[in-house]
Amino acid sequence: MSSEDAAATGDAAGQAATDADHENALQDVIAVDPDDVEQGTVNRLDAHTGDGIRHRAFTCLVYDTDGRILLAQRAPTKRLWDAHWDGTVASHPVEGQSQEDATEQRLEEELGITPDQYDDLRVTDKFEYKRYYPNEGVEWEVCSVLKVTLDDTSLDPDEEEIGGMLWVDYEHLHENPSLYRQLRLCPWFEIAMRRDFS
């Protein structure tokens, strides 16, 4: 084996070790067909590497009573779309978990938002999309959009999940997305926002 081959093998082994150590390697997501019909579970890391595996996901848009949306910056340690801005949390339900229950869980885990701060969590849309993140992986999801309005905007963000937070007038953001381009918005949020108000 040449020194170049050995180096390439070492790099591949190092990447495999890094991937295996990543928390995603220990989790499963729900594979689905284009109509969001379950096709069994798949390893979360497998679903987000190579050409990906279509799976179920959600994004939740969190508002206050003044019509502002809470943008949350993904932590810089995230494998995909690290340090991009989301509106507001996004993740995957596990087998047997509803989108609403999964969203409640992530709102509390990521932002410290508890169910007593809202009473209108609801699914408002669903779409399929596929986007590659250069040199890191891919998202291929049937993504449900949920919305919720906070009566109490107290937040307790988890720094391992959230890099920053920003309240933005949603109508202004929706009508003027180019003004917010420097924030580098997550693709699933941009799609959800583009489909909104239609």
Which residues are known catalytic residues?
141
Q: Could you tell me where the DSSP H helices lie in the chain?
A: 3-21, 44-47, 99-111, 170-175, 187-195
Measured between alpha carbons, how far is residue 64 from residues 42, 61, 74, 166 in Å? 36, 10, 20, 12
| Residue 84 annotated in ligand binding | no
Neighbouring C-beta atoms of residue 9, cutoff 10 Å: 11
DSSP 8-class letter at 75: P
| Residue 141 annotated in ligand binding | yes
| Residue 171 annotated in ligand binding | no
| Residue 139 annotated in ligand binding | yes
E strand map for 38-136: 38-43, 55-64, 68-74, 85-86, 89-91, 122-133
| Residue 48 annotated in ligand binding | yes
| Residue 110 annotated in ligand binding | yes
Residue set of the binding site: 48, 55, 92, 110, 139, 141
Annotated binding site for Mn(2+): 48, 55, 92, 139, 141
